[in-house]
Amino acid sequence: MTLDTELLGWQFDANIDFNQAINKSTGLQKGRRPNRSIGINAFKASGKWKQSIYWTAKSWAWDKDAHTDNIKLGGYGLLNLTTGYNFNEELNAYFNLANALNKEYEMAKGYKNPGRNITLGLNYSF
């Protein structure tokens, strides 16, 4: 299910997913697939500036299809922030702060995802 609206100059998009990924041979939830997820994106363009705020949350999931070890991966929420400036049609600069709250989480047991990540860049189109 998705929703979009505009409020105070911000464009909001939201989605909610209910996943029933069932393994046909076992009848159990497939591994590494959360049952529920939600995402909310807020975007605003003002003059040459663009801002984006994206929040997503995922429910817990089994680590493997077989569920033999009964290892559950915890649910998590992430906040990503982006701002950009368009110098002209060909050149823009951007600043991205991914996992802004430095959340520790795993999408597979024993493989932690990176913490806070900052990217500064330039895009040139020709």
5-18 residue pLDDT tens: 999 999 999 999 98
Euclidean distance between CA atoms 64 and 110, whole angstroms? 13
What is the number of domains present in the chain? 1
Euclidean distance between CA atoms 64 and 88, whole angstroms? 48
Please write the tens of the pLDDT for every residue from 17-43. 988 777 777 777 778 888 899 999 999
Euclidean distance between CA atoms 57 and 115, whole angstroms? 16
Structural domain of residue 110, as residue ranges?
Answer: 2-124
At residue 66, the pLDDT reads 60
Q: Which phi and psi (to 5°) does residue 31 adopt?
A: -65, 150
